[in-house]
Structure 1
Amino acid sequence: MRVALKYICEDVDRHGNVRCYVRAPGKRKVRIRALPGTPEFMEEYQAAIATAAEAPLRQADEAKRGSFRHLCIRYYSSAIYKALDGSTRNWLRRALDEIAQEHGAKQVATMQARHVRRLRDAKAEMPAAANQRLKALRALFSWAIEAEETKVNPTIGVKKLRYQSNGHHTWTNEEIQQFCERHTLGTKARLAFDLLRYTTGRREDAPRLGRQHMRDGRVRFRQAKNEHRNPIDIDIPLHPALGESIAAAKVGANLTFLLTEFGKPFTANGFGNKFKDWCRQAGLPHCSAHGVRKATSTALAEAGATPHEIGAITGHTSLKEIERYTKAARRGELASQGMSKLIGKTTA
């Protein structure tokens, strides 16, 4: 059964190949190159729809060369921006458009570091959001300087806000057991958890996995993060517990193991929201999909895996993050070794 998607149209080239496009009124048609029915197809389709559905920019701002809004428009149409992953483009655009709502008509040439600091500090109550806003501005002006769209870079010298954060909560063994008791083998929630746990995938990866990634006793897939700029291919043994979970879930012949209630593949955001629902059902509202990845990384470190062994499983290219897991995991062991040397050496 075929489901009609809004704005989708098809034509046939001279070789007889069917080509799919998104053609929205008043917009240029966008080619969808992925195979229909695959998660990649839906991702391309949703990105094209999001672009087509954007509210028209005010003509005054758009025509005003040299304005912040005009610079953003130029950035969004650049090859640098288009080469970014969809999730990266989304948060960059949200951050820049939020600034443009209030300051879009202002001239970029008059923008100084103090203005950037004010924009950063406007979100000081949420330091992570403040730093993300600064990061978006840095990306914009880094491109603008290289593209000779402006001669000033007001982000130079502006520092991130310093704050204490441990990032996503790392699942404990007790929390893992609590989740598994609530979501037993055979359920969609349990399969989602096991995919995250035994592949160390992110929320973008788990909903893309299917039988085509499980062959010859191994799991092979390309991580979604930075797949268009710095792709990381994962090739790890299939954990027996994951194989058992897949068999118990009785998934069909779909290209993805996990499907929504409507029989469609999850988007990354949709999966993240659904997984949070499953966590709340298990009484774990503070837990997240990314925290499962951190838990497995920690478990590997506690089992004595080297940083390079962990990196081969998680896909980390920098040892800095891996070493943090390793040090935290070995802290108790090192403390015991240190205290054992002190015992019997103290004097009254």
Structure 2
Amino acid sequence: MGLNPASNMRVPLKYVCEDVDRHGNVRCYVRTPGKRKVRIRALPGTPEFMDEYQAAIATAAEAPPRQADEAKKGSFRYLCIRYYASAAYKALDISTRNWQRRALDAIAVEHGAKPVSMMQARHVRRMRDAKGATPAAANQLVKALRALFSWANEAEETTANPTIGVKKLKYRSDGHHTWTDEEIQKFYESHPLGTKARLALDLLRYTTGRREDAPRLGRQHTRDGRVRFRQAKNEHRNPIDIDIPLHPALAASIAAANVSTNMTFLLTEFGKPFTANGFGNKFKDWCRQADLPHCSAHGIRKATSTALAEAGATPHEIMAITGHQTLEEVERYTKAASRKKTADAAMQKLQRG
């Protein structure tokens, strides 16, 4: 637990520890099992502290374990350790680093000591097919290996790439459930205007932000009748800046929640900013309280995109709101809306006939 020197309160964050230097100053660190500790210099309880905390968690995850020296050069585990320490890996967003590392570390549990030069495409296919019951996870494994060997070839750590020719599994998935108007109203009935849950949904709904974006929004992002923020996804590689009108319903929700002066509108019960994962979990709790266990934060983004398409917005207009960079994703919404309108028109003709 970290100590907040300004308030003498404990900060309930996982892996946070403290010590006191010879001048009596309290120093906070992130110390994960078997990894080097990482110093947090910002004052606990501030947004800067949470930013450093998240970065420290990622840095600790990237740091080679203490038994790294035992990894034999040329082994799969050794290659993974080299990749985690590379500039290419560190340039990735935290969420990308995390899922890549989970996938690669899972492979290393069984195959870490094996010579990476012996890995062939058939081995990758075998590992992929072993996860056939969960095709999304199987494809993520292949994607993580491709990233690893793409870096390894460029860095001249290896000369072969066993992922070449390995295809992803084909499967049908509609992704996150798209909220219906009825489900949104049901959520509103359970979480009325002025509640934190209602504000959370309105932030998602009227900014089309992801779960990483909503907990970062605050007064500095809503000025002069507009909402301006940089999307968290790919912000370090390919940043996307959003600049959209402040919807009256969102303005009313912010005012009712009495958070218009906050640097982050959404705070935990401890008065601290949410992490992306923490917000996602909390939002799922609010959904369950509204008897909507199948709904999620990302489904709101899809619902607003659908509503824009049904209102007649063009793909480029939708992209300006959502921050999508290709037409392919957005055209799904507009095509579906077009089919719906065409079907309605056709049925009206049948009724007149």
Cα distance change of structure 1 residues 60 and 52 upon mapping to structure 2, 3 Å threshold: closer
Residue pair 1:61, 1:67 contacting (<8 A) in 2 also = no
Residue pair 1:21, 1:29 contacting (<8 A) in 2 also = no
| Residue of 307, 310, 321 corresponding to 1:302 | 310
Q: Which residue of 2 aligns with 1:90?
A: 98
Q: Deviations over 1:184-203 (max 9, x none)?
A: 00111000000000000000
Give the distance between the partners of 2:249 and 2:315, measured in 1 at CA.
23
The offset of 1:128, in angstroms, is 0.6
Residue pair 1:38, 1:255 contacting (<8 A) in 2 also = no
Q: Which residue of 2 aligns with 1:133?
A: 141
Give the distance between the partners of 1:339 and 1:122, measured in 2 at CA.
48
Alignment of 1:262-301 (within 5 A): 262-301=270-309
Q: Which residue of 1 aligns with 2:24?
A: none
- Following superposition, which runs of at least 4 residues in structure 1 exceed 3 angstroms of deviation? 1-11, 20-41, 49-61, 336-345
The offset of 1:121, in angstroms, is 1.2
Q: Indicate yes or no: 2:169 matched with 1:144.
A: no
Q: Indicate yes or no: 2:254 matched with 1:242.
A: no
Alignment of 1:23-102 (within 5 A): 30=38, 37-39=45-47, 41-49=49-57, 51-52=59-60, 56=65, 58=67, 61-62=70-71, 64-102=72-110
- Give the percent of matched residue pairs that are identical in Structure 1 and Structure 2: 76
The offset of 1:93, in angstroms, is 0.7
Q: Which residue of 2 aligns with 1:17?
A: none
| Residue of 155, 160, 163 corresponding to 2:163 | 155
Unpaired segments ≥5 residues, structure 1? 12-19
Query: Aligned pair count?
Result: 337
Under a length normalisation based on structure 2, what TM-score does the superposition of the two structures give? Answer: 0.87
Q: Which residue of 2 aligns with 1:16?
A: none
Residue pair 1:198, 1:242 contacting (<8 A) in 2 also = yes
Give the distance between the partners of 1:101 and 1:27, measured in 2 at CA.
17
Greater mean alpha carbon deviation, residues 83-92 or residues 26-35? 26-35
Greater mean alpha carbon deviation, residues 255-264 or residues 27-36? 27-36
Q: Deviations over 1:116-151 (max 9, x none)?
A: 011111111111111111111111111111111100
Q: Deviations over 1:210-252 (max 9, x none)?
A: 1110000000000000000000000000000000000111126
Residue pair 2:219, 2:260 contacting (<8 A) in 1 also = no
Q: Which residue of 1 aligns with 2:327?
A: 319
Q: Which residue of 1 aligns with 2:3?
A: none
The one-letter code sitting in structure 2 at the alignment partner of 1:308 is H
Cα distance change of structure 1 residues 152 and 204 upon mapping to structure 2, 3 Å threshold: same
Q: Indicate yes or no: 2:235 matched with 1:227.
A: yes
Instruction: Describe the SS at the equivalent of 1:145.
Output: helix
Give the distance between the partners of 1:40 and 1:325, measured in 2 at CA.
38
Give the distance between the partners of 1:317 and 1:307, measured in 2 at CA.
11
Instruction: Describe the SS at the equivalent of 2:152.
Output: helix
Q: RMSD in angstroms over aligned alpha carbons?
A: 2.8
Cα distance change of structure 1 residues 164 and 57 upon mapping to structure 2, 3 Å threshold: farther
Residue pair 1:9, 1:23 contacting (<8 A) in 2 also = no
Instruction: Describe the SS at the equivalent of 2:199.
Output: helix
Q: Indicate yes or no: 2:194 matched with 1:186.
A: yes
